């Protein structure tokens, strides 16, 4: 028997699909079972954003949770997740995280684990997130955040909208999201440049690919910059005061990755000085603990959303299909897909 613990929302149909991977598989729906632990492990902000309100009233036995983990051969988690898993799962063969970004794992005992950890990188709602980036780009160029803040008194002379076509968009991180951003941007007539580790490999719809060491060059030629890279030790505060100075006067900055990619005090200063023309982000520093800083939300050229860029009315099963494929591979002794490389941080 191969026990699979699902600490993530799942439908009966999805559980049947997992069980169908192999006759040895036994699926255990543990999402609600771990509700008390999730409520205890995570800040109120995280609970309000990511868990059903009813989770605060659910009760279960710690003994039952420990017993389930003790017999688990594979575990599938989402965000948020139980922060203490490894010590209670001595026979686990691999753990799969449905979300793409793994920086959240630093909060628990899975970070740099010896047990294989796999992620949903490239299998998430990349198109929806790219659409958000394009929508935010259009909103900033056309000064729509300013219009949204009007209190009934319109002043036509206050607007300085710009044309989008013909401008340059820089994508920092040409993974699944970044490549979708490039494709959509090129369709609007934007010239696209980007950066990635493997800069020698061409990327469709991207005119030039820079290595990370040439980030200032990308920033200096871009009218709008989209951050779509993983958060690692190397990319923490990737956009600092020096990087912001390297950007064109009046350029826009967008973030669909992690808030910690940006030095927030430096960002606020760049907005105050007028060097940065506008900022749009689906994330911010400490988003799982508190609301965004009031200094940031006060600007009329700033657009913030609460980590909703991946929301869509189109059902996607790609991240769960990836888990099923890894389950099959594990059972047959094959290499796992998307295994986290801790030296890279994703």
- The answer on pLDDT for 315 being more than 80 is no
Residues forming a β-bridge with 278? 252
Alpha-carbon span 171 to 180, nearest angstrom: 10
The pLDDT, as a whole number, for residue 155 is 87
**341 found inside a domain:** no
pLDDT confidence of residue 314:
85
Q: Which residues of 258-268 are buried (b: 16+ CB within 10 A; e: fewer)?
A: bbbbbbbebbb
Cα 292 to Cα 295: distance, rounded to the nearest angstrom: 9
Selecting among 15, 208, 237, 307, the annotated active-site residue is 307
Q: In terms of domains, do 288 and 325 share one?
A: no
Q: How high is the pLDDT of residue 291?
A: 96
At 86, the pLDDT band (50, 70, 90 cuts) reads: very high
Tell me how many degrees the CA angle 125-126-130 measures, rounded to the nearest 5: 120
pLDDT at 124: 84
User: What would the mean pLDDT of 297-314 be, rounded to a whole number?
Assistant: 94
How many domains does one find in the chain?
2
Rounded Cα gap, residues 339 and 176, in angstroms: 16
pLDDT per residue over 197-223, tens digit each? 987 788 999 999 999 999 999 999 999
Q: Is the pLDDT of residue 317 over 90?
A: no
- Work out the average pLDDT over 3-32: 98
- The torsion of the CA quartet 52, 53, 56, 57, rounded to 10 degrees, works out to -100
Tell me: the pLDDT tens digits for 53-84?
A: 999 999 999 999 999 999 999 999 999 999 99
Indicate if 153 and 260 belong to the same structural domain. Answer: yes
Q: Please check whether residue 14 lies inside any domain of the structure.
A: yes
One domain, residues 26 and 89: yes
Task: Look at residue 292 in the predicted model and tell me its pLDDT.
Answer: 96
Is 311 domain-assigned?
A: no
338 domain residue, yes or no: no
CATH of the domain at 216: 3.40.50.720
Cα 258 versus chain centre, distance: 6
3-class SS of residue 151: coil
Strand partners, 281: 255, 304
On whether both 322 and 294 belong to a single domain, the answer is: no
Residue 63's pLDDT is: 98
| 278 located within any domain | yes
Is the domain of 43 the same as that of 135? no
Longest dimension (CA), the chain: 71
**Percentage above 90 pLDDT, the chain:** 91
Predicted local confidence at residue 311, as pLDDT: 93
Q: What pLDDT was estimated at residue 316?
A: 76
Do 134 and 80 share a structural domain?
A: no
Could you read off the pLDDT of 142-199 as tens digits, one per residue? 999 988 887 678 888 888 999 999 999 999 999 999 999 999 999 999 999 999 998 7
Catalytic residue among 258, 260, 320, 324: 258
Single out the catalytic residue among 289, 328, 334, 344.
289
- Could you tell me if residue 28 is inside a domain? yes
Catalytic residue flag (residue 28):
no
Residues 255 and 220 in one domain: yes
Residues 217 and 322 in one domain: no
Examine residue 309 and state whether it is found in any structural domain, yes or no. Answer: no
- Looking at the structure, tell me whether residues 93 and 233 fall in a common domain: no
The boundaries of the domain holding residue 222 are 126-304
Q: Are residues 176 and 226 in the same domain?
A: yes
Q: Can you give the length of the chain in residues?
A: 346
345 domain-assigned: no
Tell me what the pLDDT averaged over the chain comes to. 96
114 and 182 fall within a common domain: no
Question: For residue 199, what pLDDT is reported?
Answer: 79
pLDDT band at 294 (very low <50, low <70, confident <90, very high): very high
Shared domain for 117 and 175, answered yes or no, is no
**pLDDT the model gives residue 157:** 86
Question: Is 200 noted as a catalytic residue in this protein?
Answer: no
């Amino acid at each position: 028997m191969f026990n699979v613990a699902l600490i993530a929302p799942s439908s009966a149909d999805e559980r049947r699909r997992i069980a169908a991977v192999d006759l040895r598989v036994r699926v255990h729906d543990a999402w609600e079972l771990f509700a008390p632990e999730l409520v205890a492990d995570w800040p109120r902000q995280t609970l309000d954003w990511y868990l059903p309100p009813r989770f605060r009233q659910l009760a279960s036995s710690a003994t039952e949770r420990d017993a389930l983990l003790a017999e688990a051969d594979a575990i599938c988690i989402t965000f948020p997740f139980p922060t203490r898993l490894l010590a209670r799962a001595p026979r686990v063969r691999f753990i799969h995280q449905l979300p793409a970004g793994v920086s959240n794992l630093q909060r628990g005992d899975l970070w740099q684990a010896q047990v294989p950890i796999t992620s949903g990188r490239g299998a998430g709602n990349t198109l929806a997130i790219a659409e958000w980036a394009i929508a935010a780009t259009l909103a900033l160029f056309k000064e729509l955040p300013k219009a949204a803040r009007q209190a009934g008194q319109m002043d036509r002379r206050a607007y300085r909208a710009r044309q989008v076509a013909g401008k340059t968009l820089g994508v920092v991180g040409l993974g699944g999201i970044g490549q979708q951003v490039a494709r959509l941007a090129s369709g609007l007539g934007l010239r696209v440049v980007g950066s990635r580790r493997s800069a020698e490999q061409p990327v469709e719809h991207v005119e030039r690919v820079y290595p990370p060491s040439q980030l200032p060059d990308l920033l200096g030629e871009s009218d709008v910059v989209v951050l779509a890279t993983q958060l690692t030790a190397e990319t923490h505060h990737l956009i600092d005061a020096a990087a912001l100075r390297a950007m064109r006067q009046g350029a826009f900055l967008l973030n669909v990755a992690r808030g910690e990619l940006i030095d927030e005090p430096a960002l606020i200063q760049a907005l105050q000085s007028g060097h940065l023309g506008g900022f749009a982000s689906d994330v911010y520093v400490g988003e799982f603990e508190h609301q965004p800083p009031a200094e940031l939300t006060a600007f009329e050229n700033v657009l913030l959303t609460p980590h909703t860029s991946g929301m869509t009315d189109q059902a996607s099963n790609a991240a769960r299909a990836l888990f099923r494929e890894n389950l099959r591979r594990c059972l047959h002794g094959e290499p796992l897909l998307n295994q986290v490389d801790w030296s890279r941080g994703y």
